[in-house]
Structure 1
Amino acid sequence: MTLLTTWPDSGPHTVIRRTSDPAEIAAALAPLGVRHQQWPVREEVPADADADTVLAAYRDEIDALSEEGGFVTVDVVALHPSDDPDWPQRARAAREKFLTEHTHDDDDEVRFFVAGAGIFYLHVGGEVHAVYCEKGDLLGVPKGTRHWFDMGTEPSFTAIRFFHEEDGWIGTFTGSDISSRFPDFDTIHATRAAEPDA
């Protein structure tokens, strides 16, 4: 279940909006320039599928979005729990890389979740919007938008990434500690899982 939670950027003491309705989520994010869509889920694609399998399964959607948005590079990123003894350290390093508020000056951040889940936190107009994305969700965050991303302490997701530039994007960190003041992925994931319609 996709979930949007909005708070004032002063802290999570007041919930301004909380909805799992895809149409409401898209409507709430559109004025921010943020794109939210749901694509058909290819159930035959396993969570740990290789990049070629993922790209082939979603070729029609990828081609349509690339043509519409002018994307020149598309790839697949995946993180899933492993028996590798280095997994905890790799997972922690991957999570920490995106956990602090930053912007991208040269490109949008566009992701389609093939499997698993993650949360994009968008800091716009005096509010923080936590967008819990799971398989089937496409999110497009415009360049220059303050945001951070949390994949949890046990990351498990596969996502298709779209880029306008061949070099991808580089994060510019704002120096703010705002991400530490809002519920993290694990907290929101646990709350969401406990809800009756989850």
Structure 2
Amino acid sequence: MTTLSIFNQNQPEQPQTVTEDAGEIQRLLADKGIRFEQWPTRDLPEDVTQETILDAYEAEVAALKRECGFQTADVISLNPDNPQKDALRQKFLDEHVHSEDEVRFFVRGQGLFYLHLDDQVFAVLCQKNDLISVPDGTRHWFDMGPEPRFTCIRLFSNPEGWVANFTGEDIASRLPRYEKLAGAA
């Protein structure tokens, strides 16, 4: 189940707020300028190709491209048997920003987005059906967990794809990781 945990950055041991109500999650994130939606998903086999996934969500992706000016879309998929899973997890675990919105739609599985907004950190455990759009310049990081299992459609304004500028702050190391927050969901 999708969960939002809100932490004070100076007291990261326990969240101040936890909710599993999708409408409340959407409202709380919208108040901070974060787009969150739940789309209907298609029943697709686990070994489906990127092209089939993009074809299945063609209308939704095209609408987002028109609305937000995205140029490209692709699919990222990761399973626990991937030999690079630890390196890939580590790549996204440090706080960073982008010069474009980071948009992910979860076709399968789950992952945890941390959004560092003012003096709070919003940890959004995204699940199948969830779309999250992190605005450009928003400090954030992503934790896929030690045994990742997810498939996401990604949209980009920059045809080069994912380009991060790391902040150098250690905030990500002070918050509970995926293992604790996803286990509580």
Same structural fold, with TM-score higher than 0.5 when normalized by the shorter chain: yes
Separation of aligned partners in 2, 1:8 and 1:191: 19
Using the TM superposition, give the Cα deviation of residue 190 of structure 1 relative to its aligned residue in structure 2, in angstroms: 1.3
Residue aligned with 1:63, SS: helix
Mapped partners of 2:46, 2:39: distance in 1: 16
Match of 2:28 in 1: 28
Distance 2:14 2:142 in 1: 21
Instruction: Give, as a single letter, the amino acid of the residue that structure 2 aligns with 1:160.
Output: I
CA contact (8 A) 2:41 2:129 kept: yes
Residue 81 of structure 1 deviates from its aligned partner by 2.3
Hey, what does 1:92 align to over in structure 2? Answer: 86
- 1:66 paired residue number: 65
CA distance in 2, matches of 1:39, 1:142: 19
**Structure 2: runs of 5 or more not aligned:** none
Tell me if the contact between 1:47 and 1:157 (Cα under 8 Å) persists in the aligned partners: no
The answer to whether the Cα contact below 8 Å between 1:107 and 1:168 also exists between their aligned partners in 2 is: no
Task: Tell me the amino acid that sits aligned with residue 163 of structure 2.
Answer: I
Note if contact 1:11-1:182 (Cα within 8 Å) is conserved in structure 2.
no
State the partner residue of 1:196: none
Indicate if the aligned counterparts of 1:48 and 1:80 stay in contact, CA closer than 8 A. Answer: no
Does the 8 Å CA contact 2:13/2:175 hold for their aligned counterparts?
no
Matched residue, 1:7: 7
Distance 2:11 2:53 in 1: 38
RMSD of aligned alpha carbons: 1.1
Q: 2:165 maps to what in 1?
A: 172
Deviations 1:145-164 (A, max 9, x none): 00010000011110000011
Cα distance between partner residues in 2 of 1:138 and 1:123 = 18
- Classify the secondary structure of the residue corresponding to 1:189: helix
Contact 1:47 1:116 in 2 (8 A): no
Structure 1 segment 43-58 matched on structure 2, within 5 A: 43=43, 45-58=44-57
CA distance in 2, matches of 1:64, 1:95: 30
CA contact (8 A) 1:48 1:158 kept: no
Q: 1:107 maps to which residue?
A: 100
- 2:96–2:139 CA contact under 8 A, matched in 1: yes
Letter in 1 for 2:70: F
How high is the TM-score relative to the length of structure 1?
0.90
Q: Does 1:133 align with 2:130?
A: no
Q: Residues 48-86 of structure 1, C-alpha deviation per residue, up to 9 Å, x if partnerless?
A: 32101111111111111111111110000111122xxxx
Q: How many angstroms does 1:119 deviate by?
A: 0.4
TM-score, with structure 2 as normaliser: 0.96
Q: Which amino acid aligns with 2:21?
A: D
Distance 2:9 2:100 in 1: 24
Instruction: Measure how far apart 1:12 and its partner are.
Output: 2.4
Report how far residue 6 of structure 1 moved.
0.1
> C-alpha distance in 1, partners of 2:74/2:64?
14
Residue 46 of structure 1 deviates from its aligned partner by 2.0
